A = this chain, B = another copy of it.
Amino acid sequence: MQILDGKVVAESINKENEERIKRKKTKPNIAILGIKGDEASNTYIKRIEKNCQKFGIGFNLFLAETEEQFKANFEKIKDDEKITGIMFQQPLPKELLELVDEIPPIKDIEGVSSYNMGRLFLGKERAIIPCTSKAVIEVLDYYNIDLTGKKVVVVGRSNIVGKPLIPQLLQKNATVTICHSKTKNLKEETRNADVVIMAIGKARFLKKEDIKDGAILIDVGINFEDGKIVGDIDFEDIKEKASMCTPVPGGIGTITNAVLIRNIIESSEKF
């Protein structure tokens, strides 16, 4: 089985990122808005901060104590010309999440506003695409995997992975099936697929008996098991049967970081 190496794909994107940012007179400068919270999201924020520093991207963190303060922070920065990109750090209460649609499209570096999602969905140019879903497409492109007519099964229907993958896979002429927790005979669906994209957050869920010979597997899952990070695919189990698979760690997550940097660089040029 060929390992689809996320590090190689990320390096290739980051090389381009470096060149593009060198050419920019004004460096991007992003703001992350959140509410003081759990450790997991702090780790994530720290990784973004480190990445931004590496690329000379300005990084501003606004962690609010209250919802009111979050709103005030948002009001202050959303039309600030010095801020070129805005991210909301999840989890957030529903009311605050709705504010995402007030992020100016040009600053929506995660592509999570209704406007950007609509553009992606409708196949319009200049859509900013949610990073993780785009990372899946990047690995397929890097390894020249042609999806035309192929049966692609996406397991997971989230707004940041499963759903935004649909228009991107259709664009590549794949026949796309979306499965989720209510799907009957999930394993029958995955067994019939040429390509399976797993994004359900269940550790080592997909086994060799759930795939067909030579299947191409993409693992979006990030799960913690006995202090180790594992994906939604049982990598050891499938490796004799699948033809290609992304590892976890070192797969989609690694590419996602590089795609976010590209989104940060590109968003301000898009509109």
Tell me, rounded to whole Å, the shortest Cβ–Cβ distance linking A160 to chain B.
10
Question: In the complex, A123→B180 CA distance in Å?
Answer: 15
Q: Which of A122, A176, A178 has the most CB of B within 10 A?
A: A122
Across-interface contacts of A123 in B (CB, < 8 A): 159
Least Cβ–Cβ distance between A165 and chain B, in angstroms: 11
CA distance A246 to B184 in the complex (A): 25
8 Å CB interface, A168-189 against B: 170, 173, 175-180, 182-184, 189
The distance from the CB of A12 to the nearest CB of chain B, in whole angstroms, is 28
A 88-109 to B, binary, CB cutoff 8 A, 1 in contact else 0: 0000000000100100000000
Check A201 for interface membership: any CB of B closer than 8 A: no
Q: A117 on the interface (CB 8 Å rule)?
A: yes
Q: Is A248 an interface residue (CB 8 A)?
A: no
The interface size of chain A toward B, counting residues with CB under 8 Å, comes to 34
List B contacts of A114 (CB < 8 A). Answer: 114-116, 118-119, 121-122, 124
- Is A206 on the interface with B (CB-CB < 8 A)? no
CB <8 Å contact, B118 and A149: no
CB-defined contacts of A124 to chain B, threshold 8 Å: 98, 114
- Write the nearest CB–CB distance from A63 to chain B, whole angstroms: 25
Contact assessment for B173 and A176 in the assembled complex, using a CB-CB cutoff below 8 Å:
no
Residues in B neighbouring A163, C-beta threshold 8 A: 121-122, 166-167, 170
Chain A residues 130-146 with CB under 8 Å of chain B are: none
**Chain A, range 63-96, C-beta contacts under 8 Å to B:** none
Asked if A202 is at the interface (CB within 8 A of a chain B CB), the reply is no
Q: Is A256 in contact with chain B by the CB < 8 A criterion?
A: no
Please name 10 further chain A to chain B contacts, defined as beta carbons within 8 Å, in addition to the given A114-B124, A123-B159, A173-B182, sorted by A numbering.
A114-B115, A114-B118, A115-B115, A116-B118, A118-B121, A121-B159, A122-B159, A175-B183, A175-B184, A175-B189
Which A-B residue pairs are the 10 nearest by beta carbons? A118-B118, A114-B118, A117-B118, A173-B182, A149-B184, A177-B177, A175-B183, A114-B119, A115-B115, A176-B178
Please list 14 pairs of residues, one from A and one from B, whose beta carbons are closer than 8 Å in the complex, sorted by A's number. A114-B116, A115-B118, A116-B118, A117-B117, A117-B118, A117-B121, A118-B121, A121-B121, A149-B183, A157-B170, A173-B180, A173-B182, A175-B178, A175-B189
